[in-house]
């Protein structure tokens, strides 16, 4: 039976005339719901990095468990996000979007009351499934609700609001953690309930249902293979730092690689695959995605392990460390528009290549700071994070442009989804691999001395001064290794973009006396 809202949208309605499913008076509710739903994922991810030392202290979680608290979510999100996007096409965007939000907040409540790391990891994986449906749905439902003439402004409002929540989330979360202590990390997950419920109410009570656009296959087989492949790779990389995990590490990585090839073969055989592998024959598309993988690998590794170093290693407060995310979000929010226009004039090659180098310089600066034991947050770490934010702002919009313009118009949705998944897989592998590197360096310096906490683990009160000095030096050395590797990967991303992405080799448009391009 159709609801009253649904009956307002017929073939003669103004909404249909504009090519949308939503009447003009109700579109604002779509926008607000999409902003709130996006805030769920953005706030959850950025604050969790700040809260990780407190969470580990409260639950007694090891470094490997901390990695999986992050990676369980990243795994299901990255492996299922393309299938999640297809669910909106098959079942209707409003229905799929509401389902994703509901699953996300239900899993969030379970995370908030998790008694131990294992339970938290399990529900983080379920949270990622909800996010895989919710994340692509937030932008898609705006695009479907607004006519083309109004769509750019609506997406701009959504992007600005999302950047604002991403920027303020860690700052506010850091103050709360500093004020109320370690146990308050549970509130990070509980806050998802009111935000999610408001979003669901607006969608069900104020927004009409849209009709499915096509009966696409969800390719659940491909999604399952991707989950197993990336999960096995991440497990093998993470197991390197776990006690006795080395025996499981190599077989898990080998199984992951084999499953990845099985996944590729399966996708080639599918009539309606989750990933159109044929797109990777396009040089610009393949190059832009490879650059994306290396750049977001580097970004994710630093944003996950730097807060651990600052809070657990340097003993800074969460309130202070929460500010490291602010320059990234603010720069992207303020500069993406002008950079996008610049990229339109000269092509995306120069902005991506030069922006990646700026990020590399910032990470090189972090390498030098920690190598020489310079523990100056506001005059050292924070300015370098601001520089990193400027570099990422120079890359984000042109990278999207490079991906979208490298394919035919009919493939832009698939291209965007693949690029989104690639960036998240990069983050997944980064947290797993760089954690093992950091743990190995840390253990080599501390010699696994009794009483010395593990990397990123807050020290107990009363730790002897000499043991604490060793702990701090080992923490610096561990992060130095991470920052040095990610610096090189950013340089590699820049080189790949320079040789594969189209555009000018200069930041200034060519001067021409004729009308030719």
Under the banding of pLDDT at 50, 70 and 90, the label for residue 15 is very low
Q: What is the pLDDT of residues 447-477, one digit of tens each?
A: 877 778 889 998 887 788 888 999 999 999 9
- Tell me which of 129-133, 269-273, 312-316, 485-489 is least confident: 269-273
Please tell me the predicted confidence (pLDDT) of residue 12.
41
pLDDT at 126 over 90: yes
Rounded (5°) CA angle 240-246-250: 90
Q: How far is CA 60 from CA 53, 206, 308, in A?
A: 10, 44, 15
State what percent of residues in the chain have pLDDT above 90.
53
From CA 32, how far away is CA 132, in angstroms rounded? 20
- 1 by Cβ neighbours in 10 Å (0-12 / 13-18 / 19+) ranks as exposed
Per-residue CA distances from 44 to 7, 192, 195 (Å): 36, 8, 12
The pair of three-digit structure tokens given for residue 348, joined into one six-digit string: 């995306």
- pLDDT score recorded for residue 216: 66
Q: Which of 207, 217, 77 is nearest to 142 (CA)?
A: 207
Cα–Cα distance, 501 to 504 (Å, whole number): 10
**Quick one: CA dihedral 502, 504, 509, 511, positive or negative?**
negative
Residue 369 pLDDT > 80, yes or no? yes
- Which band of pLDDT confidence, cut at 50, 70 and 90, is reported for residue 20? confident
The C-alpha R_g of the chain, in whole angstroms, comes to: 23
Residue 183's pLDDT is 84
Q: What is the pLDDT of residues 264-284, one digit of tens each?
A: 999 998 888 888 899 999 999
% of the chain exceeding 70 in pLDDT: 92
Distance (Å, whole) CA 284 – CA 292: 12
DSSP 303-368: HHHHHHIIIIIS---HHHHGGGGHHHHHHHHHHHHHHHHHHHHH-SHHHHHHHHHHHHHHHHHHHH
**Predicted local distance difference test score (pLDDT) of residue 3:** 41
What's the chain's length in residues?
Answer: 517
* Residue 341 predicted with pLDDT over 60: yes
Specify the pLDDT at position 440.
Answer: 93
Alpha-carbon distances, residue 121 vs 38, 64, 341, 424 (angstroms): 22, 11, 42, 18
CATH number of 18-208: 1.20.1250.20
Longest dimension (CA), the chain: 78
Domain topology for 277-504: Growth Hormone; Chain: A; (1.20.1250)
pLDDT confidence of residue 493 = 98
Among 2-16, 160-174, 204-218, 368-382, which stretch is predicted with the lowest mean pLDDT? 2-16
Provide the 10 A C-beta neighbour count for residue 223.
22
pLDDT at 8 over 60: no
Above 80 in pLDDT, residue 50? yes
- pLDDT band at residue 489 using 50, 70 and 90 as cut-offs: very high
Query: pLDDT tens digits, residue range 199-255?
Result: 999 999 999 988 887 666 778 899 999 999 999 999 999 988 765 455 668 899 999
Answer whether 0.95 is exceeded by the pTM. no
- The pLDDT of residue 517 is above 60: no
Burial 386-414 (b: 16+ CB within 10 A, else e): bbbbbbbbbbbbbbbbbbbbbbeeebebb
Which sequence spans correspond to the domains of the chain?
Answer: 18-208, 220-273, 277-504
Residue-averaged pLDDT of the chain: 87
- Whole-number pLDDT of residue 102: 96
- Residue matched to tokens 């030719």: 516
Closest CA to 215 of 305, 89, 316: 89
pLDDT band (50, 70, 90) for residue 516: very low
Q: Give the confidence band of 41 by pLDDT, cuts at 50, 70, 90.
A: confident
Cα–Cα distance for residue pair 501/219, rounded to 1 Å: 30
Please tell me the predicted confidence (pLDDT) of residue 1.
39
Q: What is the pLDDT of residues 161-215, one digit of tens each?
A: 877 777 778 888 888 888 888 788 998 898 889 999 999 999 999 999 888 876 6
pLDDT of residue 166: 75
Q: For residue 11, what pLDDT is reported? A: 40
Whether the per-residue pLDDT at 430 is higher than 60: the answer is yes
pLDDT on residue 243: 53
Q: Do domains 18-208 and 277-504 have the same CATH topology?
A: yes
């Amino acid at each position: 039976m159709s609801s009253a809202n649904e009956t307002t949208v017929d073939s003669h309605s103004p909404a249909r005339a504009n090519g949308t499913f939503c009447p003009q008076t109700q579109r604002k509710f779509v926008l607000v719901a999409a902003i709130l739903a996006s805030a769920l994922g953005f706030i959850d991810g950025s604050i969790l990095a700040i809260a990780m030392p407190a969470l580990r202290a409260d639950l007694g979680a090891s470094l490997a468990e901390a990695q999986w608290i992050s990676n369980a979510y990243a795994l299901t999100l990255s492996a299922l996000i393309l299938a999640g996007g297809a669910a909106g096409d098959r079942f209707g965007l409003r229905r799929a979007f509401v389902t994703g939000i509901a699953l996300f907040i239900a899993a969030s409540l379970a995370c908030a009351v998790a008694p131990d790391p294992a339970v938290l990891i399990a529900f983080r994986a379920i949270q990622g499934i909800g996010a895989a449906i919710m994340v692509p749905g937030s932008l898609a439902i705006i695009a479907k609700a607004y006519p083309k003439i109004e769509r750019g402004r609506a997406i701009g409002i959504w992007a600005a609001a999302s950047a604002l929540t991403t920027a303020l989330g860690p700052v506010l979360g850091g103050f709360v953690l500093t004020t109320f202590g370690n146990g308050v990390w549970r509130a990070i997950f509980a806050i998802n309930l009111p935000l999610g419920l408001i979003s669901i109410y607006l969608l069900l009570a104020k927004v009409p249902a849209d009709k499915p656009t096509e009966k696409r296959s969800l390719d659940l087989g491909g999604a399952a293979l991707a989950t197993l492949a990336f999960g096995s790779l991440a497990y093998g990389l993470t197991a390197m730092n776990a006690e006795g995990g080395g025996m499981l590490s190599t077989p898990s990585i080998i199984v992951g690689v084999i499953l990845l090839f099985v996944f590729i073969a399966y996708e080639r055989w599918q009539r309606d695959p989750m990933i159109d592998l044929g797109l990777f024959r396009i040089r610009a598309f393949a190059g832009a995605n490879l650059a994306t993988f290396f750049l977001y690998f580097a970004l994710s590794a630093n944003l996950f392990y730097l807060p651990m170093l600052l809070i657990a290693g340097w003993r800074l407060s969460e309130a202070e460390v929460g500010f490291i995310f602010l320059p990234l979000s603010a720069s992207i929010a303020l500069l993406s528009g002008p950079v996008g226009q610049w990229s339109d004039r000269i092509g995306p090659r120069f902005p991506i290549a030069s922006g990646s180098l700026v990020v590399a310089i910032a990470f090189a600066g972090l390498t030098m700071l920690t190598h020489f034991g310079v523990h100056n947050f506001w005059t050292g770490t924070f300015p370098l994070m601001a520089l990193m934010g400027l570099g990422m702002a120079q890359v984000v919009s042109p990278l999207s442009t490079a991906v979208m313009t490298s394919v035919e118009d009919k493939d832009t949705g698939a291209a965007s989804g693949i690029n989104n998944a690639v960036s998240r897989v990069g983050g997944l592998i980064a947290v797993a691999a760089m954690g093992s590197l950091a743990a190995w360096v840390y253990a080599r310096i501390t010699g696994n001395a009794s009483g010395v906490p593990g990397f990123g683990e807050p020290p107990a009160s009363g730790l002897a001064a000499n043991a604490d000095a060793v702990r701090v030096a080992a923490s610096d050395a561990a992060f130095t290794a991470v920052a040095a590797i990610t610096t090189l990967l950013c340089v590699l991303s820049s080189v790949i973009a320079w040789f594969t992405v189209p555009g000018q080799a200069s930041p200034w448009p060519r001067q021409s006396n004729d009308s030719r391009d």
